[in-house]
Amino acid sequence: MERDLENPEYRKRFESDYEAFKLEVQLLLALERKHWSYSDLARAMGTHKSHISRDLKGGGLASASISRIAKMAGALGLRFLPLCVPESKMKQFLPVIKKLVAA
Q: What is the CATH number of the domain that holds 36?
A: 1.10.260.40
**Domain span including residue 93:** 2-102
**pLDDT score, position 43:** 97
* Mean pLDDT of the 68-81 span: 95
Pick the residue with more confidence: 9 or 88?
A: 88
What is the number of domains present in the chain? 1
Taking CA atoms, 9 is separated from 6, 16, 39, 66, 86, in Å, by 9, 11, 37, 25, 22
**103 pLDDT higher than 70:** no
**pLDDT score, position 7:** 82
Three-state SS annotation for the chain:
CHHHHCCHHHHHHHHHHHHHHHHHHHHHHHHHHHCCCHHHHHHHHCCCHHHHHHHHCCCHHHHCCHHHHHHHHHHCCCCCCCCCCCHHHHHHHHHHHHHHHHC
The tens digit of pLDDT for each residue in 12-66 reads 777 777 888 888 989 999 999 999 999 999 999 999 999 999 999 877 888 899 9
**pLDDT score, position 2:** 75
